[in-house]
Amino acid sequence: MKYTAIILAGGKSSRMGTDKGLVLLNGKPMVSYLIDLFQSLNIPIILVANNEFYSQFDLPVYSDIIQEKGPLSGIYTGLKASQTEKNIIVSCDIPFLSQRIIELLLKENSNNLITVVQCGGKIHPLIGVYSKEIEAFLFESLTQNKLKVRSFIHELAVKIIDLDEEELDSVEEVRNINTLNELKEIENGK
């Protein structure tokens, strides 16, 4: 089965104070870590971003079709742009996401509309596989201003993979970086 990786980089990054995907982590834009991961797996990549500076990565970049609606709008935009039925959705602020988590998602996805991971009891809805079949449901949620991703996925047939049960040391692998302080802590080895 073919997949497309859709990296969501269109957020406001209000806690970071600047565009998260373009913030340098150890001298490299944070989104580059994910681009490198998917390129190493030979999975085509789409960037969903409302910032023209993402064109520097020489990948298809799409602005949100429906503006100011958060991550659900990014997912909707990415799915509309994708040419594959199944799509790996990740946010740009998870630089340490690993190949083994992606492979586990692909293996466990099968016929589910949505497959996401959970670690330490916390669901990570922006690390998952989403089917194009949900486009109409996404559009309906967006037009009704039902914008919470966790609420949305629970309305559909979602499969949750508990990474703790998979015995993966995955806390850092699913850690998202939201603030400059978190960024500095990581760069200082904390």
List the CATH number of the domain containing 120. Answer: 3.90.550.10
In the block, residue with structure tokens 């492979």: 103
**Distance, CA of 132 to CA of 113 (rounded, Å):** 8
Question: Helix 30-40 crosses helix 99-109 at what angle (to 10 degrees)?
Answer: 60
173-185 confidence digits (pLDDT tens): 888 888 778 777 7
107-159 confidence digits (pLDDT tens): 998 889 999 999 888 999 999 999 999 999 999 999 999 999 999 999 998 99
The answer to whether the beta carbons of residues 113 and 70 sit under 8 Å apart is no
The answer to whether the beta carbons of residues 34 and 76 sit under 8 Å apart is no
Q: How many domains does the chain have?
A: 1
pTM for the full model?
0.93
Question: Residue 43: which pLDDT band, with cuts at 50, 70 and 90?
Answer: very high
Residues 6+ apart with CB under 8 A from 164: 118, 119, 120, 170
Segments forming the whole domain that contains residue 50: 3-187
Identify the helix (H) or strand (E) that includes residue 180.
helix 180-187
Cβ–Cβ contacts within 10 Å for residue 18, how many? 9
**Distance, CA of 160 to CA of 156 (rounded, Å):** 12
- What number of helices (H) and strands (E) belong to the chain? 6, 9
**In this structure, what token pair is assigned to residue 151?**
């609420």
Check pLDDT > 70 for residue 14: no
